[in-house]
Structure 1
């Protein structure tokens, strides 16, 4: 997997989901982030995403304590699908 937002080495690629605030001037200040681990995408889903051009990760935005989600995110905390955002 490659792209402008994909980071990490092969076998450990991920994208960040960043939490932050935007001030009145439009400046973003990050305060927390989560790594959505792409190596945890099931092979069938990844194949379908390559065909359709769309990979979707659905996840809750808070952890068990009600805080914004952070750290490494893998299934079952994220459900990967391909081809539709519905």
Structure 2
């Protein structure tokens, strides 16, 4: 199964004390496909497997029944990424038998900062 995460309304390259902010999908311990936080939109794609309704894959974290993927926020300096915040995109409730699932996310919270904690998609599209 393919999971597509589309982010919109990014918070900007500078927020609070943080500058040169980027966001990426966390695969194992590393952020991948970093996008500057002042981009118009962002998109990440990862492959998932399901086993009796339980999600698995290199970007999947959490315990059985509580699986999620992280969007990790950090500052970029030269070739170094320093994380300061993460958003958990929860996978529970998603169909395990779809070919593709697309999640649309608002990436800025109510105070104008990068969205973090548990994130619920604004829309979920199932299918190609």
TM-score normalised by L of structure 2: 0.52
Unmatched segments (≥5 aa) in structure 2: 1-54
1:47 aligned onto 2:93: no
Bigger fraction of residues in helix: 1
- Structure 1 residue runs of 4+, over 3 Å off? none
1:83 CA displacement: 3.9
Change (3 A) 1:71 1:16: same
Cα distance in 1 for partners of 2:90, 2:60 equals: 10
TM-score normalised by L of structure 1: 0.73
Partner residue, 2:76: 22
Unmatched segments (≥5 aa) in structure 1: none
Cα distance in 1 for partners of 2:125, 2:89 equals: 14
Cα distance in 2 for partners of 1:13, 1:20 equals: 22
Cα distance in 2 for partners of 1:39, 1:10 equals: 10
1:9 CA displacement: 1.1
